[in-house]
Amino acid sequence: MTIMNIVHQLQGIGVSPGIAIGRACVIRQFEPGITGETLADEAAVEREIALFREAVGRSMEELILLMAGAETAVEEILGVQVEMLHDPMWEGEVLSKIGTDRKNAGDAVLEVTQDLVNTFGSMEDEYLRARAADIEDIRKRVMRYLRTGAAGTVEGWADHFVGVHEMVGRDEHDGVSDAAAFADQILVAMDLSPSDLIALDISRVIGFATRTGGKTSHASIVARLRGIAAVVGCGEGLDFIVDGDRLVLDGVTGILLVNPAPDVVEQYVEKRKEQLATTRFLQSLKGKEAITTDGIAIHLSANIGSIEDMEQALEYGAQGVGLLRTELLFMQSNSLPTEEEQFIFYKNILVRAAGRPVTIRTLDIGGDKALPYLPFPKEDNPFLGYRAIRISLDRKDLFLTQVKAILQASVFGECRILLPMIGSVQELRQAKALIAEAKEDLTRQQLAYDADIKTGIMIEIPSAAIMADQLAKEADFFSIGTNDLIQYTLAVDRMNEKIKALYDPFHPAVLRLIRNVIEQGHLNGLPVGMCGELAGDPQATLLLLGMGLQDFSMNAPFIPVVKNIILQSSMALARAVCAKEMDNII
């Protein structure tokens, strides 16, 4: 039997590399539902409010205890949940549902958290979308206390395989796996929360597969952190797996095989050996510079949104940060981050970068990236609307505060400013005038900043790509944002699953625009980089090199992969590949 003939084969998303061969350990998670109960009188209201407060308090205690024993990244994730639990807005909404709408505490929590999950879950930004998992984690935790009166302790929890499921095992909705006795377990679950994963007995769990989830869901992040092979988003087929089924899971291709024939298992044993060798090899490239066989040095940097991402970037040997998405800082706060708060965040990144260049992009909010504390009117076409630099030029107060924070941080390292969604020379001029104003203000206050800081622009709107020759005369550098450039050039919503086949990074129109930007940038002596996802796509590396791109910024794990291609290729080869590809499309 070949791999193609496998009957029980599920296709998910590979989120943490590695091949796991083991036995299924199926976890059925606690899924509480709305009861629809109406509270009879004031006494019932009082009782439900007291229950809610107690459940929140105990959830908070539990989180704090869990944080104490967790790795830094997990601790941060749980810290976000503690903050969310403290949020007076969500508390207020729950209390109003109990007091005014007369719902019981469980129903109120379910309704309020569901709204939040929907809001975050539909956001464009993958990172922010993944925050929906935090809210779901909070919901489960609070609901556990409300509906089961669970009195479990964290110690008890961590003692068990996935203790949270043990505790709610008393509830009729839930059951815990009998497969805990097997060694080499592969967890099979609806989804896994960070808390679930902390409680894992790592010596026995070699992989997990979930029905839902995406690349930046927390289960995926923690899997990568702990080096556990993982496939998420396997869909309904996962429901047919039972405890003890023999599974083969490929965390790269996203394939999950259920009870495959022995010869297929054998093939995967071989593949696992090869993958291990590749991983070791890629790790060995960490300290190497990315130089082509004919001696051209290519700069490989990382896209980040947080200090944890910065750590990961260094792990993978990033030579700098090509894109710091500052909106993540704003999205994680409950109110507008002050100049001081922003300054500290940027400074910490620059200090950690230790002299490596860091490109800080000003706020790219709007579209579907909302800030709850800064509501804007609903728009029919948010991606074509009030977004990024358009907001910054309108809300000068926000922009000036951010630029002043960046400028003050700039003395702590090699810092550049990047402006998102520039569509015309006029917009660039207006933004530069505001940056000059911010500098004057700091000078007046006798605050230090890098007076020669470079200001570059994202090229992510077709008008900017077409006008690259003019923009190159006034910008200090270009960074090509292919994620948006593709969606705007091809009129294909980057979020719309239904038309994802039309979202083609190799479409001739996109490639012509990219080539034009690189050529015009270089003709004008400008450094040109790329920070859209295409920069980390190994299939595009030679083509982009051949176009003359020398600065690639990507999600950190792709750095060694792209580096490996560069180390084995000459510019002559890259130019030939590029000429052939461009010939084919013209």
Q: At what angle do helices 262-284 and 559-567 cross, to 10 degrees?
A: 80
- CB–CB of 185/241 below 8 Å? no
Question: Which of 5-13, 116-124, 304-312, 475-483 is the region at the interface with Mg ion (rule: CB under 5 A)?
Answer: 475-483
The answer to the question of residue 581 lying near Mg ion (CB under 5 A) is no
Question: Which of 181-189, 265-273, 328-336, 479-487 is the region at the interface with ligand PEP (rule: CB under 6 A)?
Answer: 479-487
In residues, how long is the chain?
586
Query: Residue 234 catalytic?
Result: no
Q: Which does 196 bind (CB under 5 to 8 A by kind): Mg ion, ligand PEP, none?
A: none
Concatenated DSSP letters of 22-75? EEEEEEB---------B--SHHHHHHHHHHHHHHHHHHHHHHHHHHHTS-HHHH
Q: Which does 238 bind (CB under 5 to 8 A by kind): ligand PEP, Mg ion, none?
A: none
The answer to the question of residue 481 lying near ligand PEP (CB under 6 A) is yes
Query: Residue 218 catalytic?
Result: yes
- Dihedral pair phi/psi, residue 237, rounded to 5°: -55, -25
- Please state, in angstroms and rounded to a whole number, the distance separating the CA atoms of residues 94 and 105: 8
Pick the catalytic residue from 25, 234, 415, 531: 531
- Radius of gyration, CA atoms only, the chain: 26
The answer to the question of residue 309 lying near ligand PEP (CB under 6 A) is no
- CB–CB of 293/45 below 8 Å? no
What is the DSSP pairing of strand 229-232 with strand 246-250?
unpaired
Choice between 484 and 581, CB closer to Mg ion: 484
Q: E-strand spans in 233-282?
A: 246-250, 255-258
Count the residues of the shown chain that bind Mg ion, applying the rule CB under 5 A: 3
The answer to the question of residue 551 lying near ligand PEP (CB under 6 A) is no
Choice between 260 and 505, CB closer to ligand PEP: 505
Pick the catalytic residue from 25, 165, 218, 299: 218
- Token pair in block for residue 190: 């609806």
Interacting residues with ligand PEP between 454 and 473 (CB under 6 A) = 460
Q: How far is the CB of 428 from Mg ion (least distance, A)?
A: 16
Would you give the distance in Å from CA 220 to the centre of its chain?
Answer: 10
- Please state, in angstroms and rounded to a whole number, the distance separating the CA atoms of residues 153 and 172: 20
Question: Which of 13-21, 80-88, 138-146, 478-486 is the region at the interface with ligand PEP (rule: CB under 6 A)?
Answer: 478-486
Place of tokens 């922003």: 342
Q: Which residues contact 50 (CB under 8 A, 6 or more apart)?
A: none
The answer to the question of residue 484 lying near Mg ion (CB under 5 A) is yes
Using CB under 6 A, which of 103, 139, 325, 387 touches ligand PEP?
Answer: 325
Q: How far is the CB of 391 from ligand PEP (least distance, A)?
A: 14
The answer to the question of residue 460 lying near Mg ion (CB under 5 A) is yes
The answer to the question of residue 22 lying near ligand PEP (CB under 6 A) is no
- In whole angstroms, how far apart are CA 435 and each of 338, 427, 453? 18, 12, 10
The answer to the question of residue 125 lying near Mg ion (CB under 5 A) is no
- In whole angstroms, how far apart are CA 39 and each of 102, 108, 113? 5, 12, 20
Choice between 140 and 369, CB closer to ligand PEP: 369
Q: Tell me which residues are annotated as active site.
A: 218, 531
Binding site for Mg ion (CB under 5 A): 460, 481, 484
Binding site for ligand PEP (CB under 6 A): 323, 325, 364, 460, 481-484, 531-532
